[in-house]
Structure 1
Amino acid sequence: MRVLRLTLAALAVGAAFMQPARAGLFEDDEARKAILELRNKVQANEDAAKQRSDQLNAVIQEQLQPLRRSLLDLNGQIDALRAEIAKLRGQNEQLARDLADTQRKLTDQSQSVEARLKPLEPQKVSLDGREFQVSPDERNQYEAAIGLVRRGEFADAVAALNAFLKRYSASGYTDSVRFWLGNAQYGKRDYKDAIATFKGFIAGNPDHPRAAEALLALANCQIELKDNKSARRSLEDLIKAYPSTEAAQAAKERLRAIK
Structure 2
Amino acid sequence: MRQALPWLLGSALLGSAGLAQAGLFEDDEARRAILELRQSQAELRSQMDATRKQSEQWQADSAHRQADDSAALRKALLELQNQLEALGADVAKLRGQNEVLARELAEVQRRQKDDLVGLDERLRRIEPLKVSIDGREFLAEPGEKRDYEQAFAVFRKGEFDRAQVALVDFLNRYGPNSGYRVPALFWLGNAQYALKDYKEAIANFRSLIAAAPDHLRVPESMLAISNCQWEMKDTKAARKTLEELVKAFPSSEAGVAAKERLGRMK
TM-score after normalising by structure 1: 0.64
**Which of these residues, 182, 185, 189, is aligned with residue 189 of structure 2?**
182
> Equivalent residue for 1:167?
173
Q: Distance in 2 between matches of 1:154 and 1:59?
A: 113
Amino acid of the residue matched to residue 85 of structure 2? D
Deviation at 1:239, TM superposition (A): 3.5
Change (3 A) 1:87 1:258: same
The residue matched to 1:189 in structure 2 has which SS?
coil
Q: Distance in 1 between matches of 2:50 and 2:182?
A: 131
Change (3 A) 1:161 1:93: closer
In the alignment, is residue 69 of structure 1 matched against residue 75 of structure 2? yes
**Which of these residues, 46, 71, 88, is aligned with residue 94 of structure 2?**
88
Gap runs ≥5 in structure 1:
1-32
Deviation at 1:188, TM superposition (A): 2.3
**Which of these residues, 141, 144, 149, is aligned with residue 143 of structure 1?**
149
> Equivalent residue for 2:265?
258
Deviation at 1:79, TM superposition (A): 1.7
> Equivalent residue for 1:212?
219
Deviation at 1:43, TM superposition (A): 9.1
Change (3 A) 1:54 1:182: same
Of residues 196-205 and 42-51 in structure 1, the stretch that sits farther from structure 2 once superposed is: 42-51
Aligned residues: 228
Change (3 A) 1:236 1:39: farther
> Equivalent residue for 1:223?
230
> Equivalent residue for 1:199?
206
Change (3 A) 1:176 1:90: same
Q: Is contact 2:171–2:184 with CA below 8 Å preserved after alignment?
A: yes
Change (3 A) 1:149 1:257: farther
Structure 1 residue ranges, 4+ long, deviating more than 6 angstroms after superposition: 37-44
Change (3 A) 1:44 1:221: same
The residue matched to 1:132 in structure 2 has which SS?
strand
Q: Distance in 1 between matches of 2:181 and 2:65?
A: 107
Q: Percent identity?
A: 45
RMSD across aligned C-alpha pairs, in angstroms? 4.3
Q: Distance in 2 between matches of 1:220 and 1:45?
A: 147
Of residues 177-186 and 83-92 in structure 1, the stretch that sits farther from structure 2 once superposed is: 83-92
Q: Is contact 1:228–1:258 with CA below 8 Å preserved after alignment?
A: no
TM-score after normalising by structure 2: 0.63
